[in-house]
Chain A
Amino acid sequence: MGPITLLSAVEPGWAALLAPEIASRMQFGWTISVHIIFASLSIGLAPFIIYFTWKDVRTNEQQYARLRSFWVKVFAVGFVMGTVTGIPMSFQFGTNFPRFSEVAGELIGGPLAFEAKMAFFLEAVFLGVLLYGRDRVTDRTYVLSSVLVGVGAWLSGFWILVVNAWMQTPRGYEMVTRNGMEIAQLTDPIAAFLTPRLPWMYVHMMNASVISVALLVAGVSAYIVWKKPDTEAWNTALRLAVVLLLISAPFQAVHGDAYGRHVEDTQPQKFAAMEAHYETGQADLHLLAFPKSLEALTDPRAENLVTVSLPAVGSFLASGGDFDTEVIGLNEYEENPPVALVFWSFRFMVGLGFLFIGLALWGGYLTYRGRLSDSTRYLKAMIAASPFGYAALLTGWYVTEIGRQPWVIQDELRTSEAVSAILTGTEATLTLVGFVVVYVGLVLTALYVLKWLVREELQALGVRESSEGRWHGPIPGVGDDD
């Protein structure tokens, strides 16, 4: 762990909670974690919505109208949550990291403004039509609205990742002094927008969103099919989700492997943290790792882990075929990211990725045998797995973002230099607590709404629910009486 000041030294008493830097980082990390769940929900649901809307209008089959109506409601809730959590994101670059915005303004401002204008507006305007306009527009406009909402979601992800990819592999600028301050001046827009990281990140993130939503759709469908086996609509949805998972989950593993090599090329320090590789030289690949002691959890090193490792395969993978390649170790750097967080997040993500492939193959086999909805065990497994896509997506981002530390712009600007100089520990801690409380409420609300939608759907299908509480948790302080 780098030398981060945890406590605010300048303020006395109860106010001396957290130093501005760590509080700002926790706040940004927390708010983006919640936001990204909803943002990726929009991205992943878009293909489902377009498909259901198109089928509904084309075939007039009741099952597609039912699925469209259900998932558009989920999409709408996700979009509202995405909007209300997204606006604070666009402010925090200024409130908490003003030096970053000032240094990188020419590089990140354009893409962020394009995100708002090309993508966010498109999504928001046509979602209004999709939600409220069924009887006010023609079928064709209605289907087109669903497509435009989807395009908006995917384009939004693109521009945001242009910014993030630039922070990982910055290009197309030079440092100049302006108004007495060193800033990055845009010199080559194409290089600055289409950085080496962008294609890797975009494909990996879009596919991760599809996987997460496929698991969510599969979980909800499995639950409803479990309660009401003869529902045509939800059997269709379950099959569709399994098919999508069969394509996306294995692809993610293959793509992720190549992505790892790219990270080793462009951000060797991050790669070393992912593998807890300290000494420069040949790297082993730790397929599985378990901590020997509690200490090993916070400081994972080969000597205090029980690992299932392939000697020198780390080198082999990093180089794309050479067992003797030197992999740069963490000892080469003055300041390192929190290795434990990166190391364990990476393993968590990869482990879940393999679990998803297993679930997809299992589901594919059952579909092939025509027994998908008969296997209670599979249905239960999919219900249990429904939130795991998001767990993998979040831990993947922790690898990317925490692994970039101590830099906010790789090798150019440190996170500690990017934080507001006038922000006090009290202010930062206060707003951090505020965001934690409000966003916990937000997530519980979203889960509650999903639960309510599922229950309503079951009632519409004629299922009387007898047992409460096996679905998502209740909202504290609110009775279950409607």
Chain B
Amino acid sequence: MMTDPLLPVDAYLVESLPEIWFGAVLFALGMYVVLDGFDFGIGMLYATRTDEHERETFLAAFGPVWDANEVWIVAFGTMLLAAFPRVYSRLLADNYLLAIGFVLALVFRGLGPELREQRDDERWTRYADYAFVGGSVFAPLLFGMLAGRWLFGGATLPVVLTGVGLVAVSVVTGAAFLAAKTEAGLASELRAYGIGATVAYLGGVVVLLGTVVLTDAGGAADAVLSLPVATIVVLSVVVGLGGSVLARRGWYRAWLASALALPALLTMLVAVLLYPTIYPPTGLLVREAVVSPLALNLVTVLGFPVLLLVLWYFKFLYGVFSGPIEGEGYGG
């Protein structure tokens, strides 16, 4: 049934379209991990602040962008569904409680600051802060564990380490983001947390990959002992330690740029460990999981231009709110 001559029914627009979509889905995942990651980091570092002014400053940094950042998780999920419905179904159904726990953590994270603005009551503020900080810790932890289950199946230690790794890298980016946007005194305190988290993260990645090699968790040992993985690990160490040096010198914008590369590299690690399968627990290959040519061609033709537009929106949004944080607080 040929309805539109522009859209081939029997063949992909380009031969490698399934692989391109694998990349696109992982790109959306990376955008989420990078952008909402620093939101989570802000939420965790928030717990280290007792001064009301500093807390308000943190919320002001987070306010205009977190909602848009969070939409990347929906983009990731729906793109996965559109291109690889079987993976979407299995990943979420096989990890029911983790997935639901993650979205509930997001509810608390999103709601906390909203609630906080509504009253001056001390106890109320405290509960709102618990929701914000708790959500900011549990969301990356559970999401990282979900990613760990995706890669390694049921092996407990690698799964937990993946979760902890995502928490640590979120602290790094959160600290760098805040340091680039606040005054010097606060920034130098933040960089201590950022550097500590960088060391913890890099150590965690090494332990994680070591564990996977030793236990062959999810049958991923061979994939780990490969050139691409080694390259990504070396790059992460270089970027992480280099970023720490930049932070020590007070070059916070450069530190931010290098810090954001860490979760991006982490996503690449996920991609490398997945491919050519896309659901390692069942050995499902990208080519087996992908939708029919017509469906994929359609979401490509309609979706890719929009994806470019979305990236432009983000450039615009971050342009409008670039520079140091003005004022404080979360309200409009």
CB within 8 Å of A: which B65-116 residues: 65, 67-68, 70-71, 73-75, 77-79, 81-83, 85-86, 88-94, 96-97, 99-100, 103-104, 106-108, 110-111, 114-115
Contact with B along A178-193 (1 / 0, CB 8 A): 0100010111111100
Taking a contact as CB atoms closer than 8 A, the residue among A105, A117, A122 that contacts B81 in the complex is A105
Nearest CB of chain B from residue A366's CB, rounded to whole Å:
34
Taking a contact as CB atoms closer than 8 A, the residue among A77, A79, A94, A187 that contacts B89 in the complex is A94
Contact B119 A423 (CB under 8 A): no
Find chain B residues with CB under 8 A from A77 CB: 114
Contact with B along A109-140 (1 / 0, CB 8 A): 11011111110111011111111110011000
Contact B314 A87 (CB under 8 A): no
Contact B118 A448 (CB under 8 A): yes
Q: Which of B70, B73, B107, B121 has the most CB of A within 10 A?
A: B107
Is A76's CB within 8 Å of the partner chain B?
yes
Output the nearest chain B residue to A421 by Cβ-Cβ distance. Answer: B93
Taking a contact as CB atoms closer than 8 A, the residue among A72, A91, A188 that contacts B100 in the complex is A91
Taking a contact as CB atoms closer than 8 A, the residue among A109, A112, A129, A442 that contacts B320 in the complex is A129
Query: How far, in angstroms, from A101 to B310 measured CA to CA in the complex?
Result: 25
Q: With A117-B310, A189-B298 in contact, is A420–B3 under 8 Å at CB?
A: no
Taking a contact as CB atoms closer than 8 A, the residue among B1, B67, B97 that contacts A83 in the complex is B67
Nearest CB of chain B from residue A146's CB, rounded to whole Å:
13
Is B228's CB within 8 Å of the partner chain A?
no
Contact A91 B1 (CB under 8 A): no
Contact B81 A112 (CB under 8 A): yes
Contact B120 A482 (CB under 8 A): yes
Is B23's CB within 8 Å of the partner chain A?
no
Query: How far, in angstroms, from A131 to B303 measured CA to CA in the complex?
Result: 28
Is A434's CB within 8 Å of the partner chain B?
yes
Contact with A along B295-332 (1 / 0, CB 8 A): 10011001100110010011011001100000000011
Main secondary structure of the interface of B (DSSP, over half): helix
Taking a contact as CB atoms closer than 8 A, the residue among A84, A95, A185 that contacts B99 in the complex is A95
CB within 8 Å of A: which B99-152 residues: 99-100, 103-104, 106-108, 110-111, 114-115, 118-121, 124
Find chain B residues with CB under 8 A from A91 CB: 77, 92, 99-100, 103
Query: How far, in angstroms, from A280 to B85 measured CA to CA in the complex?
Result: 40
Contact with B along A85-100 (1 / 0, CB 8 A): 1111011011110110
Is A295's CB within 8 Å of the partner chain B?
no
Contact A449 B106 (CB under 8 A): no
Contact B74 A116 (CB under 8 A): yes
Q: With A423-B93, A434-B100, A452-B118 in contact, is A110–B107 under 8 Å at CB?
A: no
Query: How far, in angstroms, from A128 to B94 measured CA to CA in the complex?
Result: 35
Contact B294 A112 (CB under 8 A): no
Is B270's CB within 8 Å of the partner chain A?
no
Taking a contact as CB atoms closer than 8 A, the residue among B82, B104, B313 that contacts A110 in the complex is B82
Find chain B residues with CB under 8 A from A113 CB: 75, 78-79, 81-82, 299, 303
Q: With A77-B114, A84-B111, A105-B291 in contact, is A94–B120 under 8 Å at CB?
A: no
Query: How far, in angstroms, from A482 to B86 measured CA to CA in the complex?
Result: 52
Output the nearest chain A residue to B332 by Cβ-Cβ distance. Answer: A131
Q: With A117-B303, A186-B294 in contact, is A109–B106 under 8 Å at CB?
A: no
Contact B86 A479 (CB under 8 A): no
Q: Which of A93, A120, A128, A137 has the most CB of B within 10 A?
A: A128
Contact A117 B307 (CB under 8 A): yes
Contact B298 A133 (CB under 8 A): no
Taking a contact as CB atoms closer than 8 A, the residue among A94, A130, A188, A481 that contacts B3 in the complex is A188
Find chain A residues with CB under 8 A from B302 CB: 110, 114
CB within 8 Å of A: which B224-266 residues: none
Taking a contact as CB atoms closer than 8 A, the residue among B67, B71, B119 that contacts A116 in the complex is B71
Q: With A106-B295, A117-B307, A445-B115 in contact, is A90–B106 under 8 Å at CB?
A: no
Find chain A residues with CB under 8 A from B294 CB: 185-187, 189
Output the nearest chain B residue to A27 by Cβ-Cβ distance. Answer: B100
Query: How far, in angstroms, from A336 to B85 measured CA to CA in the complex?
Result: 30
Is A460's CB within 8 Å of the partner chain B?
no
Q: Which of B75, B83, B89, B299 has the most CB of A within 10 A?
A: B89
Nearest CB of chain A from residue B79's CB, rounded to whole Å:
5
Find chain B residues with CB under 8 A from A128 CB: 63-65, 67-68, 317, 320-321
Q: With A90-B78, A128-B317 in contact, is A120–B71 under 8 Å at CB?
A: yes
Contact B73 A72 (CB under 8 A): no
Contact A434 B1 (CB under 8 A): no
Is A80's CB within 8 Å of the partner chain B?
yes
Is B292's CB within 8 Å of the partner chain A?
yes
Contact A101 B63 (CB under 8 A): no
Query: How far, in angstroms, from A449 to B116 measured CA to CA in the complex?
Result: 11
Find chain B residues with CB under 8 A from A136 CB: 320-321
Contact B110 A80 (CB under 8 A): yes
Q: With A105-B88, A125-B313 in contact, is A76–B332 under 8 Å at CB?
A: yes
Query: How far, in angstroms, from A120 to B119 measured CA to CA in the complex?
Result: 29
Find chain A residues with CB under 8 A from B96 CB: 95-96, 420, 422-423, 427, 431
Nearest CB of chain B from residue A347's CB, rounded to whole Å:
34
Query: How far, in angstroms, from A102 to B115 measured CA to CA in the complex?
Result: 38
Contact A109 B81 (CB under 8 A): yes
Contact A179 B3 (CB under 8 A): no
Contact B298 A186 (CB under 8 A): yes
Contact A133 B321 (CB under 8 A): yes
Find chain B residues with CB under 8 A from A479 CB: 121
Contact A110 B299 (CB under 8 A): yes
Taking a contact as CB atoms closer than 8 A, the residue among B67, B92, B306 that contacts A98 in the complex is B92
Find chain A residues with CB under 8 A from B70 CB: 83, 87, 124
Contact with B along A60-94 (1 / 0, CB 8 A): 00000000010011001101100111111011011
Contact A88 B100 (CB under 8 A): yes
Contact A431 B332 (CB under 8 A): no
Contact B321 A132 (CB under 8 A): yes
Q: Which of A91, A191, A434, A482 has the most CB of B within 10 A?
A: A91
Beyond A115-B78, A125-B68, A179-B86, 8 additional contacts (C-beta under 8 Å) are: A90-B78, A91-B100, A95-B92, A109-B82, A109-B291, A189-B298, A422-B96, A479-B121
Write the residues of chain A forming the contact surface with B, with a CB cutoff of 8 angstroms: 69, 72-73, 76-77, 79-80, 83-88, 90-91, 93-96, 98-99, 101-102, 104-106, 108-110, 112-118, 120-122, 124-133, 136-137, 179, 183, 185-191, 420, 422-423, 427, 430-431, 434-435, 438, 442, 445, 448-449, 452, 478-479, 481-482
Query: Could you pull out 10 A-B pairs where Cβ atoms are within 8 angstroms?
Result: A84-B107, A85-B107, A95-B99, A98-B92, A105-B85, A105-B89, A109-B88, A189-B7, A190-B3, A190-B4
Question: Nearest 7 pairs between A and B by C-beta?
Answer: A105-B85, A94-B92, A109-B82, A98-B89, A131-B332, A98-B93, A106-B295
